[in-house]
Amino acid sequence: MLYICVRRTVEWRDEEAFRAQLKPAFAPKVAAWNDAFTMPFHEFRHRVREIARTNLATVRGASCAAWDDIPEGALVVPIDDDDWLAPGVGETLEAARDPHALGHYWTSSYLEVPMHLRHRLRLLRQRLFHRWSRPHWTCSSNNYAFVKTAGMGTGLLKHSHASPWFDGPGAALVRQIEGRLSVQNRTLASITSLAYHRPSIGRPELIRKYQAYQQLYSRPVPSGIAWCRPYVDMMRDLMRELRLRAR
């Protein structure tokens, strides 16, 4: 059986619990969101997580479990609570699994709005020169799996730790799989979308991104990830419910 391990669990629906876990550095961005929209930030993130849960319930032959509940020797796919997996990811991994390998990865797929001009240019370069462009991370949010062993601790649950291992010490022990088995759904409410590396975000910028995300979820689904159409439609409907406050 494939095990899906969600990296963090935030009680988004419970505003008091959410506030207790809110990092001070991110608080100004939550305040900017709540000032701009009628749907509070924590409620929007709760709805996003529920869409992801609906998706994970369709993954065949897989079980969501906390790290401590996953047996040694099991294949684990780490994931954030807003990302999606293809329904057949478990079957594909099982069919392609190399008994001598400790890790497997596949091509990342994203639904996102460029964070800034430099990011937009990088995405354009990757589209135009995809055959020669190497992704920044071998392991992104949810495009890899690894075998839980005594020597493979929780560090590999973080993609920023997994990538150096997949590219370095573990390179001979990992295998690449064909196909697009996951989607990183980088929503308007994600940390990277809300002025990453800056202390705050202004209302005009937030509104521009809001409009861009409404367009994003109304477009045709990119090639190779047609399986995620139902969840894109749910995100489209959620973005339509997200209304601007009158000024």
What is the C-alpha R_g of the chain?
Answer: 18
> What mean pLDDT is reported for the chain?
91
Tell me what percent of the residues of the chain surpass a pLDDT of 90: 79
Residue 168 has φ and ψ, to the nearest 5°, of -115, -105
Which pLDDT score, from 0 to 100, does residue 13 have?
92
List the one residue out of 41, 54, 47 whose CA is nearest residue 229: 54
Q: pLDDT confidence of 223, banded at 50, 70, 90?
A: confident
- Which segment of 2-16, 37-51, 56-70 scores lowest on mean pLDDT? 2-16
CA distances from 82 to 108, 138, 182 (A): 15, 20, 12
Q: What is the mean pLDDT of residues 211-239?
A: 96
Q: Is pLDDT at 90 greater than 90 in this prediction?
A: yes
| pLDDT tens sequence across 10-37 | 889 999 999 999 999 999 999 999 999 9
Q: Answer whether 0.75 is exceeded by the pTM.
A: yes
